[in-house]
A and B are shown apart, each in its own frame.
Chain A
Amino acid sequence: MEAQAILALISAVIAAAPTIEKGIQKAKGLVQALFSAGIVSKAEQDALNAHVEARGNLVRSGFIPLAWRVEADPA
């Protein structure tokens, strides 16, 4: 993944910022981890890996989060 692609993705998140307050904090953390010091620390690597692993466990469990399900239209 090119770094420019990462920036493009972050741009998309920022464009969605009016609706995702937590996303802003997440974007900040990722940008800092990726670029600010030039070195991604061991703790930052481990945190990302743990987060992705946890997401993987959820996906493998077969449970689909409510917000990701197609629900009936409002009456």
Chain B
Amino acid sequence: MTKLKSCWLSLGAVVALMLLCAASCEKSRLEPGGAYAPLGTNGVAAQEADLAFYQVDAAYDLAAFSLDAIFTFERENRAALWKVSPEIKHALDRIRPEAWNYSIEYHRARDVYRANPVPANLTRLEATVAKLQQLLATANAVLPAKK
């Protein structure tokens, strides 16, 4: 676990970024031509840029990535964490299948939204990400607190 202490060197930079960005986050927009703001063959926007879809995808990706990091950390340090408390593994074991099922659900909902990008389908994506966020918070709380 000691090798992971270096993370704190980066933490200050991330917090600073958050503070700097909090005031401007509502101004975010998408550059035309990207995956979430496609252009037609004539170089004109083929459809309206979909910032909400970009944001929910970003939230999903970050949640899934973070859950994966926590699960992997526990697996790679299982023997040591088991000595701290068997409940760490047991608690994460309760989260693992649920998180995987919500990942499956997210991609099903994403396929539906891409085929039919209406608000109701976006809501389904957001609801799934919200579940993953809850699981991430629970998984994070399971890990030993920093010293």
* Residues of A in contact, count (CB < 8 Å): 62
In the bound complex, residues from chain A placing their C-beta under 8 Å from that of B5 are 18
CB distance B14 to A27 under 8 Å? Answer: yes
Q: How far is the CB of A30 from the nearest CB of chain B, in Å?
A: 6
CB distance B66 to A12 under 8 Å? Answer: yes
Q: Is the interface of A mostly helix, strand, loop or mixed?
A: helix
CB distance A48 to B54 under 8 Å? Answer: yes
Q: How far is the CB of B19 from the nearest CB of chain A, in Å?
A: 10
CB distance B34 to A44 under 8 Å? Answer: yes
CB distance A66 to B17 under 8 Å? Answer: no
Q: Is the interface of B mostly helix, strand, loop or mixed?
A: helix
Q: How far is the CB of A20 from the nearest CB of chain B, in Å?
A: 4
In angstroms, Cα B64 to Cα A32, docked, is 19
CB distance B28 to A40 under 8 Å? Answer: yes
From A1, A11, A34, contact of B129 by CB (8 A): A1
CB distance A28 to B56 under 8 Å? Answer: no
In angstroms, Cα B66 to Cα A12, docked, is 9
In the bound complex, residues from chain B placing their C-beta under 8 Å from that of A64 are 100
CB distance B30 to A39 under 8 Å? Answer: yes
